[in-house]
Chain A
Amino acid sequence: MTRFVTVFAAVLIGLFTLEMLDPVQAAVIQPFTGWLATVSAALIIPFDDAVVASGRIIEHTQTQFAVSIESGCNGVEAAIVLIAGVLAFPANWRQRVAAILLGFLAIQVMNLARIISLFYLGQWNMEVFTWTHLYLWPVLIMLDVLVVFVFYLRYLAPEAEPAPAT
Chain B
Amino acid sequence: MIASPLYRFLGLVFLILPAAFIVWHALASVLAAPAVWAAGKMLTLWLPDLVANAHLEGTIMVVVSQFGDAGGRIVELANADFQIGFQQDTRLLSYSIPFFAALHFATPMTHSLERFARSLLVLWILMTLGLVAVALKNLMVTLGSVAFDNGALPPAPLIALLYQFSVLIVPTVAPLCLWAWEARRLPAFQALLPPGLLSRQPPVDPG
Contacts and interface: CB of A to CB of B under 8 A. Distances in A.
Interface of A: 1, 12-13, 16-17, 20, 71-72, 77-78, 81, 90-93, 134-136, 138-139, 141-143, 145-147, 150, 153-154, 156-157, 159-162
Contacts, number: 88
A1 B169 contact: no
Contact of B91 (A90, A135, A143, A159): A135
A58 B20 CA distance: 32
Contact of A142 (B6, B98, B99, B198): B99
B72 interface: no
A159 B203 CA distance: 9
B160 interface: yes
Pick from B99, B173, B196 the residue with the most CB of A within 10 Å: B173
A150 B21 CA distance: 24
Contacts of A81: 169, 172-173
27 contacts: A13-B165, A16-B164, A72-B168, A77-B168, A81-B173, A90-B202, A90-B203, A134-B89, A134-B92, A135-B21, A135-B91, A136-B21, A139-B172, A142-B173, A146-B176, A147-B6, A150-B193, A153-B197, A154-B2, A154-B3, A154-B193, A156-B200, A157-B2, A157-B195, A159-B203, A160-B200, A161-B194
A92 B203 CA distance: 7
Contacts of B160: 20
Nearest to B197: A160
Nearest to B165: A16
Contact of A138 (B3, B95, B194): B95
Nearest to B206: A92
A91 B2 CA distance: 20
Contact of B197 (A1, A78, A157): A157
Contacts of B89: 134
B161 interface: yes
B13 to A, nearest CB: 7
B139 interface: no
Query: Chain B's interface: helix, strand, loop or mixed, by majority?
Result: helix
A7 to B, nearest CB: 11
Query: Chain A's interface: helix, strand, loop or mixed, by majority?
Result: helix
Contacts of A16: 161, 164-165, 168-169
A108 B101 CA distance: 26
Nearest to A77: B168
Given A12-B173, A90-B202, A91-B203, A135 B13 contact: no
A1 B177 CA distance: 12
Contacts of B206: 92
A139 B95 contact: yes
A162 to B, nearest CB: 6
Given A17-B161, A93-B205, A142-B172, 17 more contacts: A1-B184, A1-B198, A12-B173, A16-B165, A20-B161, A20-B164, A81-B172, A90-B203, A139-B99, A142-B99, A147-B6, A150-B193, A153-B197, A154-B194, A160-B194, A160-B197, A160-B200
Contact of B10 (A13, A77, A142, A147): A147
